[in-house]
């Protein structure tokens, strides 16, 4: 039985635009474009790349611009996304998709050179176990995009209008923000350095997608900052590399 925060478990439509992006029916997300820019100097042909929380594999469209023969593995906790991804990319021999929960070990015996996990960790109840599992399946560099700010906040964005008698929402989405220090210190205990990279996005694209594609839900722009309903989204990319 899915937990109250696991909205992707039984709402495959929760990320409706992503399947269209994977099929090239919609353009790449702004975060895909920046991820590709970050990976370009790090990637060398022959390297293995793993996308954690890949949904229907839409980031792969951007990664294929780095190398059309990229050795790519996408993992996501939910089979309905992975099955769609397998169908969309069935003609790509170097591409694999697997159902994997980031709270459990991924591929520690068969790690990837480069891993990335974008827009996932903010939605999980905590970041430490997922980050540990991602790094345990990475040999060189991992890129994580999540919410980072000077103050950590654990946020439950309520879905629907039903509550338990103790006041907990019956369904919600975590939109958690952590501080740079929390991530840096935890990464250090695992033997990794964490560097923070400013999120670059085109506010016009996000604002127009909010209206046109997302029917006035999801991330919008207010005063030049990204917001989702009541919450400011302080996105950062984190580059994690092994300590020397
Ligand atoms: C907001 S979507 C982001 C999808 C994609 N990474 C992107 O940036 O567009 C969150 C994704 O994380 C996946 N996910 C949620 N919990 C997960 C878990 N415990 N392990 C692996 N994937 C998970 C969801 O199924 C969903 O595809």
Residue 207's pLDDT band, with cuts at 50, 70 and 90, is low
Mean pLDDT, the chain, as a whole number? 92
Question: What is the C-alpha to C-alpha distance for residues 156 and 238, in angstroms, rounded to an integer?
Answer: 23
- Name the 3-class secondary structure at 94: coil
Residue 118's pLDDT band, with cuts at 50, 70 and 90, is very high
**Within-domain flag for 12:** yes
Residue 177's pLDDT band, with cuts at 50, 70 and 90, is very high
Q: State if residue 55 touches ligand 1 by the CB under 6 angstroms criterion.
A: yes
**Within-domain flag for 211:** no
Residue 74's pLDDT is 98
Q: Specify the CATH number for the domain of residue 179.
A: 3.40.50.150
**Closest alpha carbon to 225 in 187, 243, 198, 244:** 198
**Within-domain flag for 226:** no
- Name the 3-class secondary structure at 46: coil
Number of domains in the chain: 1
Secondary-structure breakdown of the chain: helix, strand, coil percentages, each rounded to the nearest 5 = 30, 30, 40
Is 164 a residue whose pLDDT tops 60? yes
Q: State if residue 8 touches ligand 1 by the CB under 6 angstroms criterion.
A: yes
| Structural contact between residues 180 and 196, judged by C-beta atoms closer than 8 angstroms | yes
Q: State if residue 35 touches ligand 1 by the CB under 6 angstroms criterion.
A: no
- Name the 3-class secondary structure at 29: coil
**Within-domain flag for 1:** no
Residues 187-196: what's their mean pLDDT? Answer: 98
Residue 201's pLDDT is 73
Domain of residue 60, residue span: 7-201+235-242
Residues 154-172: what's their mean pLDDT? Answer: 96
Residue 223's pLDDT is 76
Residues 46-70: what's their mean pLDDT? Answer: 97
Residue 208's pLDDT is 66
Task: State in Å: Cα 103 to ligand 1 middle.
Answer: 12
Other CB atoms within a 10 A radius of the CB of residue 46 amount to 10
Other CB atoms within a 10 A radius of the CB of residue 104 amount to 10
Strands (E), 54-178: 71-76, 95-99, 112-118, 138-148, 156-158, 172-174, 177-178
**Within-domain flag for 208:** no
Residues 182-198: what's their mean pLDDT? Answer: 98
Other CB atoms within a 10 A radius of the CB of residue 167 amount to 6
Q: State if residue 103 touches ligand 1 by the CB under 6 angstroms criterion.
A: yes
Residue 119's pLDDT is 96
How many percent of the chain have pLDDT more than 70? 91
End-to-end CA distance of the chain: 43
Residue 12's pLDDT band, with cuts at 50, 70 and 90, is low
Is 113 a residue whose pLDDT tops 80? yes
Residues 18-26: what's their mean pLDDT? Answer: 84
Burial 123-161 (b: 16+ CB within 10 A, else e): bbeebbebbbbbbebbebbbbbbbbbeeeeeeebbebee
**Within-domain flag for 72:** yes
**Within-domain flag for 78:** yes
This prediction's pTM: 0.93
Residue 212's pLDDT is 61
């Amino acid at each position: 039985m899915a937990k109250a925060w696991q909205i992707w478990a039984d709402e495959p439509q929760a990320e409706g635009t992503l399947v269209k992006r994977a099929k090239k029916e919609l353009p790449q997300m702004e975060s895909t474009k920046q991820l590709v820019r970050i990976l370009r100097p790090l990637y060398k042909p022959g390297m293995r790349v793993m996308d954690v929380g890949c949904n229907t594999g839409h980031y792969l469209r951007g990664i294929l611009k780095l190398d059309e023969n990229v050795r790519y593995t996408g993992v996501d906790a939910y089979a309905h996304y992975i099955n769609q991804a397998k169908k969309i990319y069935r003609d790509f021999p170097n591409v694999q998709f697997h159902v994997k929960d980031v709270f459990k070990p991924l591929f520690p015996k068969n790690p990837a050179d480069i891993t990335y996990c974008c827009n996932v960790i903010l939605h999980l109840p905590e970041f430490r176990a997922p980050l540990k599992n991602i790094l345990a399946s990475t040999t060189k560099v991992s890129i994580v995009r999540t919410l980072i700010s000077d103050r950590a906040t654990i946020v439950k964005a309520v879905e629907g209008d039903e509550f338990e008698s103790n006041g907990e929402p019956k369904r919600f989405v975590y939109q958690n923000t952590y501080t740079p220090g929390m991530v840096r210190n935890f990464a250090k205990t695992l033997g990794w350095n964490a560097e923070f990279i400013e999120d670059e996005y085109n506010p016009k694209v996000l604002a127009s997608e909010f209206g046109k594609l997302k029917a006035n839900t999801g991330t919008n722009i207010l005063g030049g900052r990204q917001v989702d309903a009541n919450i400011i989204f302080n996105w950062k990319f984190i580059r994690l590399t092994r300590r020397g």
